[in-house]
Each structure stands twice: as C-alpha cells, then as structure tokens.
Structure 1
Amino acid sequence: MSSRVTRRSLLAAALAVGAASCTPGTDGSGAVAGGTAPGGGNGVPDPAKAGNVTLRVWDQETRGGTNAEIEQLNKEFQERYPNVTIKRVSRSFDDLKTTLKLALSGTTPPDVVQANQGYPDMVAFVEAGLLAPLDNYAGIYEWNTRYPATLLNLNRVTATGASRRFGTGRLYGISQTGEFVGLYYNKKVLRSAGVEPPRTWAEFTDSLAVLKKAGELPIQFGNLDKWPAIHTFGMLQDQHGVAEARDTVLGGGDGFDTSRTTKAAATLTEWLDRGYLPKDANGLGYDDANKKFMNGQGAYTITGTWMQADLKKRLGDDLGIMPPPPATAGGKPVTTGGQGLAWAVTSRSAHPEVAAAYLDFLTSEHAADVMTENGVLPAVPGKAAEALDPDSPDGQMVRAWRELTAADGLAPYLDYATPTFYDTTSAALQNLIAGRTDPKGFARKLQADYGPFIAKQRAKAGSGASAR
C-alpha cells in the first residue's frame, strides 16, 4: 500500500478528518529539540554543516516507478550534500510491516522509515516512543502551507492522556505520494469485446457479463498476499456510503455490522460465483495477477495507483484508469485512498535534522515533478503534472485524483481502524472468498474486532458512548 488540484484548494476537501489541535512548534516557533546539523539561513538546518553523516533509510518503494524516483532523489540529495551517505533498505510492504518494529527497537535503528498510518503501525510506534514528533520541522519547512491539513492530519497521533488515536495531535510523518484504488482497464480487451469504458457503476457491472460471454476474464484479481482484497472490498463498500465508511475507520460512524458491509461482501461473492474473478483468487499472488493483466488476461483490475508505472510500462496507451464509476454519469466518484505511507524520523536517530531535511527534499515541488516523470502520483502535484496529456494513462490518473479530491470522495484504508484490523479483515476476506463464511458472518467478524476497541477508546475519552 504504498500512496493518495491544483494543490491545496481541491485537496482541502478530501478525507474530512477534522482540524487537529494546536501543538507546540507547528508554526515553526521554538527550537528544534536535539540534532547534529548547525542551522542555515532563516533557522533552516543545513546538512552540509553536519559533518560526515550516514543516513539509514528503510522504505517499501520496491516497484518500478516509486523505486526509480526514490533512487533519483537519493542520488540528487547526496550530490547536493556530499558529506551525507544514504544507506537504503527497501522491502516489500509485507516485509517492512513484519520487520520494522524490531528494527526500530534494536541497537542500531534506522534514521528514517516509512510507517503505515493507523493503529497497527504508526500509533503503536508513537506509543512505544519509537518515532520523533515533526511539528517544529513542519513549521520550519512550511509543510503546514505546502500540504492541506486534511493530509497532514492522517499522519498525526495523540498519545498523551488516557486515550490514543490517530488523525489529531502531533505530527509524526509526511507522505510523498497520493494514491487511490482505481479501476484499471485494458483498452484492447474492452474493444475486442465491444465494450466502451464505463461512465456509470451500472455500465461497469453490466459490462462484466458481456466480457464473460465474450470469453474474457472480466476482472483480474489475486489475493494470496491477503491484503489486495482489503482494497477491493473497501472500494465496494465505499459505493454504499463513503462518508460513513470514512467515519467508521476514524472511530465514529456506525461500525461494520451494517447493510453497507453486507452489500459490499455480497457483491464480491456474486462476482466470484459468476466467474467475473479468477476461481483460484486466494491462491494467486498479487504480482502474478498483475502480470496476467499486463499480458491481456483480464479486462479490468482493481488496484492502487502505486502500480501505475509498472502497468503503463507493459501496456502503454492500451492502459486506462478511472475512479470507480459513479452511480450516475457525471456524478461524484468515491473510492479508498488518500496518501502513501508516511516518511518518519526515528526517535533515536543520531542525525534528526539531516533526516528532516531529507524528508523535506523528498516532498518538495521538485520531487513532485520527479515523481510525475516516473509515473508516480504526488500527494501535491507540481508543474510536470499540469503538462501531461489528459488522455494518457498518467493524465487520466492525475485527472482522477483531482475529481476524487474535489468530490471529497476518498475513504481511508480499512486497516487503519484498530490495532488488529489488518489481520482480522484480511483473514475474514480470505474466508469470504473461499466460501467459508457468508456476508452477514463476515460483517459480524469485523465488528467483533472493531466494536470492543472503539468502545474502550470512547470510554477513555470520557464520551460515555459505546460502539454498536
């Protein structure tokens, strides 16, 4: 999961997390605690004056476009600051998720890491004192004006007092990429079946039967890695109420034992029963499914924009991408997404100011243009995005991002919801796909994880409310 307009005016409507409480240093006031780099002009730390520094960086940008832009930006940063050597460890999302906490608590923790937002990772790391707050740096580097508050808020954590929660509090990361779960399509496969790119949700679902009858696999999909189904299910659930889905993930709303959940689960099982998805989906890896799609086996695939560069490299102009089509032509689209994993500075870094300067470089306007040139969606697109052909795959991706953010059509990833929700949801979806549970049982399984956790959170906050 890597991922997420003309800049702030359109993005400011996205995600509706709510304003964060004021925290010390968010306006750039106050000295930066700790650090090894003497300051530059206007109080901005200057890595060139830090002496010889080895910056240990752990990330999960292993795919074509994101790997390429990180490699280019790392090279440029080291050329700008010859005294800084970046020692990069790049792992898949699953491997990073499995090994990061051990690395952070070890004897030689990295200086910079990518941490997944939400309770399972970022909140847990903050609670354990493993990440450094970045509020002072946000003021010094003007992240507060470069980024809309709604995006910054997804990297905030409250870890003081009786309760802990994400979406408010101090800033513990900044994200480089925007991302959303989109509907990718192979134009050549659609044409061969006499299908036009759908304008509405009904046209999309109707096209699945047409494609099946024409001998094409309607939707390529692999869930051996467990997490891909979270994105597919989340996108389906969003069609039944994106605001409610968002509120539930962020600790409000009506939970998961709802008609919204059961309808989305029923759609997924219906697609399986009708042969719109591969029969062996639980035994097919995510990367293998994407390779099959790139080889013409599948008219559509539902995945995130982190796959854009790889898909485009193979399919070229035969690749198309759109948000999941709205209920009516010209209506507001909705889907799962927001931004990629946050880049964070570890609490025991020996070079926190150099690390913060590195984060600022990775998220600069120049970095946004480098991302665009590599087929990666920046959280805040720059000039290079404006120059894209609007009908090209990259132009379609940026247009979709603008449409989604303007429509306030993004819901956070489901695994943010509780400390154990990633494991609960991925296992429950595998059981749903395998036919070992039905939509109602699936909904109850999610609520059994979510309800008690949210009830405790609300009790700690003194609200007196309880989850359903």
Structure 2
Amino acid sequence: MAAAKGEGGTKMKGTRLFLAMGCAAALSVCAAAHAAEVAFPTWQWGESSNAAFLNKVKGDFEKNNAGDTIKPITVPYEGFFDKQYSEVRAGSPADIVTLFDPDMGSFVKQGLLEPLDKYLAMAGVSADQLSASHKVAIKDGHVYGVAFQTNPRALLVNGKLFKDAGAKLPTNVDEFLEAMKKIRNPAKQEFGFFSLSTSEAADATYIQTTPIVLGFGGSWFKAGKPTATDPNTIAALKFIKKIYDDGLVPRVNSIEAQQLFVNGKIGSFIVGPFLVGFAAEQNKEVYENIQATVPPFPGAQSAAVTVFLGIPKGAKNADAAGRFIATLLKPEMQQSVVEIIKALPAVKGSIPAGFLDKNPWFGAFVKAGDHAVSYAPEGMEEYGPEIYNIIGPAIEDILFNNKDVEQATNDLQGELEKFVAEKKAN
C-alpha cells in the first residue's frame, strides 16, 4: 500500500526548437513506441474498496506515464495462487504478481522476482521506511515486494448486535462464548462470531485459523521447528471445534462470511481492517456501529496478513510495472490505502492526520500492527504454500471428520517434522 512517484515519458531538451519542428507529432510517435500494457490480474479488482484504490493508482500512473496503461484482469480468488505460481515457473507470467506473506517468502527464496530498489528510489522511499511486514520481502538488502496493504488481525465488532442481545465486549474466552450464545438468533440467522466452518482451499483454512492459534499463544512453527502439539495450539483448536460443534458460527466460507458481517448478520470477526472498507460502502448502519478490540484470548498475540505486489522474472513490461509500484508509493496514495481500504500502508507514518479521531476503531488495528507477527510459518516462511497443504487437511479432519484434537495434532506434528527433515536433506 505504499507511495511513490513514477515518472514516465521522454524528456527533451531544446524545447523551442523542438516545438518549431512539430513536437506534438514527434512526441506522439515516441510515446507510442514505448507504450506498455501492464497485465495485472488479481481478485481485488472485483472488490469495491480495493478496486476503488487500485483504479485511483491506475489513473495517476496513466496520467503521468504517457501511453502506458494498466490492464485490470479480475480473476476468482479460488485457485489464484496455484495458477499464478505455475505461470511464473513456466516463464509466462503477468507483469504484476499478488502475493501473501508465505508466497512472498517462497518467491524470494526461489529467485522468481525482480528487485524493486530502483522503483523505491524513484519514489523517494528507502527500505527502512517500509513497515515491519516487509521483512519477508527483503533479501541481501534488496526489496522484492511492496505491501499493497497490511491487515493485522483484531476483533472487529458490530456494536449494535452486541447491544441488542445484551452482550458485552468480551475480555476472555468465557465472556466470548457467552456473547456468542446471546447473539445467536436462528430466526434471524444472526451469529456472534465467525470462524472456519466449511471446507475451503488449504490457504484459506490456514489463514482463518492461524490468528486464533496465535491468539491463544500457540503456533505451527517456532524458529523453523513444528509446534503443532504445543498445549496452546491444542487449546485453540479445541475452541474452534467447540464453537463449530455448538452451532455458534455460520456454515459459510470466509468470503461469504465477510458479506454476512457487512449485512449485519455476524457480530464479530477476527479479520483485518479492510472489512470496514467494505461496510463503509455497502451498509451505513453497520459501518456506524463498528468497534474493534484485541481478541479476547489468553496469548494476546496478533497475526498480520500482508498483500504484496511484485514483478516476476520474465515479465514483458517489467519497467512499466515498476513505475506503477512507484506510483503506489506516493504519499497521497499511501494515505488513500488507509482512507479507502481501511488497511495499514507500506510506508510507516502514512496514516492521515485526524483519521484516528474520526475512526477510533482503527486504533485497535494500529496497536495490533505494532506487535503482530506474520501468519506465515515462523522460520519456514518460504515453504508456506506447501505447509498450508499439510496443516489444512488436519484442521478439516478435526472439524468435519470428528478426529480427536490430540490425535490430529500428534499426527500433524509427525508430518511437519518429516517435511522439515526432507527440506533440510535437499
């Protein structure tokens, strides 16, 4: 979500002489010769607030880079990352790739991305000005990805549903369970909370459950070693299992759940601040009743999910793509990430003056962002996509196949240890 200035086009000296010789026609030919159409596929072109921001950057880029254009390609989220990875590995990538934290780590490790240092310099942004979320995008002093947006997890709350049900904002697990029970209204299909409740792609399963695992003080990995059998990890999975078995969460996927929250049907959601942007555009009543707080779990740890943009090796229009990323880094664009998307930007210190006064709920996310850890597996970030595919099915066995939590985590620990040993051996 960052800001920088991308300057395109050809600058000429001897302006008066050039004008006398018919510069308009010459400039037109020059611009056409260097025009680039930057292919940028992402599901985010189909999401209202994300699209509004991306189109703002697109407009600024095209205005200041004569002849160059951005080609928005709206694609479904399902299967996006597998397809993108296959195209990059095959040498036929789009010009801009969209990567979550673990994907970024994997792409950097495999050398699949172009360095962006030139475009940060163009934007007047140094690596030390980038948010802490960029750790996974930096290798040997070079920056390979810029955060489009960072979404630390906090408990987003529809205050009206809590108030109408006589439920208070929870400060511990027992109070949270009590609030869920009070808000649950089968006649109105209202729920107090959302967590994983249907079979999803492995990455979505991982993303939905990991903030709760971290919130309980658990983890999947510590310093590169599997920790699936950590008592806190087990406690988190038992909590997720309990609220699923007790019917306290809707049986929908995470994308559908976001819409239900916006529609006023879900009272709370451990999610990033971007969801407030959706509510602001679609449901004024929900937006005006938004609150946020630290998730009421004993570990008091928060997770962050960062969406990065990068330029893959083999991109046909790499330079124009870099100038688009530089445009993204402009100060006014960085502030727009906060104002439009309601997420944290790439460049530190970019929150607009007065924004927190008008949007006090955002303070919980800023606080979470100060101490949040990436949801990527610690010490094994570059193998994130492969690790999803091990952890995801284990979680689904617990929820949907009624597998005992201790047995499932013991089996999972063994699989993860085997995975790590194989990677170290290669």
Shorter-chain TM-score category?
A: 0.7 to 0.9
The alignment status of 1:218 with 2:192, answered yes or no, reads: yes
Pairwise mapping of residues 445-456 of structure 1 onto structure 2 (< 5 A)? 445-456=411-422
Distance 1:63 1:171 in 2: 27
- CA distance 1:373–1:240, change in 2 (3 Å): closer
Q: Which has the higher helix share?
A: 2
The alignment status of 1:131 with 2:113, answered yes or no, reads: yes
The alignment status of 1:114 with 2:86, answered yes or no, reads: no
Structure 1: segments with no counterpart, 5+ residues: 5-35, 41-46, 158-167, 461-468
- TM-score of the pair, normalised by structure 1: 0.72
**For 1:83-126, what per-residue CA distance to the aligned partner results, in whole angstroms no more than 9, with x for missing partners?**
211112232333321311233245653222112332xx445545
CA contact (8 A) 1:365 1:382 kept: no
Distance 1:229 1:419 in 2: 12
Per the alignment, residue 152 of structure 2 pairs with: 180
Per the alignment, residue 20 of structure 2 pairs with: none
CA contact (8 A) 1:224 1:286 kept: no
**For 1:154-190, what per-residue CA distance to the aligned partner results, in whole angstroms no more than 9, with x for missing partners?**
1135xxxxxxxxxx77532111211023322221111
Structure 2: segments with no counterpart, 5+ residues: 3-7, 13-29
Per the alignment, residue 426 of structure 1 pairs with: 392
Distance 1:135 1:92 in 2: 31
CA contact (8 A) 1:238 1:411 kept: no
- CA distance 1:143–1:443, change in 2 (3 Å): farther
Distance 2:155 2:291 in 1: 8
- CA distance 1:54–1:262, change in 2 (3 Å): same
Distance 2:398 2:33 in 1: 54
Per the alignment, residue 146 of structure 1 pairs with: 129
User: Which residue identity does 2:361 align to in structure 1?
Assistant: Q
Compute the displacement of 1:432 (Å).
Answer: 1.5
Distance 1:286 1:317 in 2: 23
Compute the displacement of 1:208 (Å).
Answer: 2.6
Per the alignment, residue 410 of structure 1 pairs with: 373
Per the alignment, residue 324 of structure 1 pairs with: 295
Pairwise mapping of residues 72-83 of structure 1 onto structure 2 (< 5 A)? 72-83=56-67
Distance 2:135 2:350 in 1: 25
- CA distance 1:109–1:152, change in 2 (3 Å): same
- CA distance 1:93–1:39, change in 2 (3 Å): farther
Per the alignment, residue 54 of structure 1 pairs with: 37
User: Which residue identity does 1:317 align to in structure 2?
Assistant: E
Per the alignment, residue 216 of structure 2 pairs with: 240
Distance 1:139 1:444 in 2: 49
SS at match of 1:359: helix
The alignment status of 1:87 with 2:52, answered yes or no, reads: no
User: Which residue identity does 1:225 align to in structure 2?
Assistant: E
- CA distance 1:170–1:453, change in 2 (3 Å): farther
Compute the displacement of 1:66 (Å).
Answer: 1.1
Distance 2:57 2:193 in 1: 35
**For 1:407-466, what per-residue CA distance to the aligned partner results, in whole angstroms no more than 9, with x for missing partners?**
x23342459454422222222222221143121133134323421232344566xxxxxx
SS at match of 1:231: helix
Per the alignment, residue 257 of structure 1 pairs with: 229
Residue range with higher mean Cα deviation, 136-145 or 352-361: 136-145
- CA distance 1:403–1:378, change in 2 (3 Å): closer
Distance 1:184 1:212 in 2: 17
Distance 2:302 2:33 in 1: 44
User: Which residue identity does 1:409 align to in structure 2?
Assistant: A
SS at match of 1:74: helix
- TM-score of the pair, normalised by structure 2: 0.79
Pick the structure with greater CA Rg: 2
SS at match of 2:101: coil
Identical-pair percentage: 16
**For 1:176-229, what per-residue CA distance to the aligned partner results, in whole angstroms no more than 9, with x for missing partners?**
211023322221111111122234455333423443499853223453434544
Distance 1:189 1:391 in 2: 22
Task: Select which of 204, 207, 210 maps to 1:231.
Answer: 207
Compute the displacement of 1:153 (Å).
Answer: 1.7
CA contact (8 A) 1:60 1:114 kept: no
User: Which residue identity does 1:422 align to in structure 2?
Assistant: Y
Compute the displacement of 1:39 (Å).
Answer: 10
Distance 1:438 1:386 in 2: 51
Pairwise mapping of residues 368-387 of structure 1 onto structure 2 (< 5 A)? 368-379=334-345, 380=347, 385-387=352-354
- CA distance 1:143–1:37, change in 2 (3 Å): farther
CA contact (8 A) 2:133 2:374 kept: no
Distance 2:11 2:405 in 1: 58
SS at match of 1:348: coil
- CA distance 1:129–1:253, change in 2 (3 Å): closer
Distance 2:84 2:238 in 1: 36
**For 1:219-244, what per-residue CA distance to the aligned partner results, in whole angstroms no more than 9, with x for missing partners?**
234534345443342122113326xx
Distance 2:237 2:199 in 1: 18
The alignment status of 1:271 with 2:243, answered yes or no, reads: yes
The alignment status of 1:339 with 2:322, answered yes or no, reads: no
Per the alignment, residue 22 of structure 1 pairs with: none
CA contact (8 A) 1:66 1:376 kept: no
Distance 1:113 1:122 in 2: 10
Distance 2:11 2:217 in 1: 49
Pairwise mapping of residues 346-361 of structure 1 onto structure 2 (< 5 A)? 346-361=312-327
CA contact (8 A) 2:120 2:326 kept: no
SS at match of 2:212: helix
Distance 1:291 1:138 in 2: 36
Aligned residues: 391
The alignment status of 1:300 with 2:268, answered yes or no, reads: yes
SS at match of 1:176: strand
CA contact (8 A) 1:78 1:85 kept: yes
